[in-house]
Amino acid sequence: MARATTRDVTRDSQSAGVSELEQELIALRQEVRVLRLANQELERLVVRDTLTPLFNRRHFISCLAERLSRLERYGTQAALVFIDVNEMKQINDRFGHSAGDFALLHIARLLNSSIRATDIAARVGGDEFALLLDGMSEEAAADKARTLAKLIGESDCCFGDDRLPLSASFGCTALREGDSDFAAIARADMAMYAAKRQTTQGD
Q: Is the pLDDT of residue 5 over 90?
A: no
Q: What class does CATH assign to 57-202?
A: alpha beta
Confidence at 44, pLDDT banded by 50, 70, 90: low
CA distance 94 to 164: 10
Tens-digit pLDDT profile for residues 176-202: 999 999 999 999 999 999 999 987 776
pLDDT, mean of residues 70-81: 96
The predicted structure's pLDDT at residue 7: 56
The domain segmentation of the chain, as residue ranges, is 1-47, 57-202
Q: Is the pLDDT of residue 63 over 70?
A: yes
Q: What is the pTM of this model?
A: 0.79
The predicted structure's pLDDT at residue 27: 78
Window from 32-41, 56-65, 92-101, 150-159 with minimum mean pLDDT: 32-41
The predicted structure's pLDDT at residue 37: 64
CA distance 196 to 119: 24
Q: If phi over 0 gives left and psi between -120 and 50 gives alpha, with beta otherwise, what is residue 96?
A: left
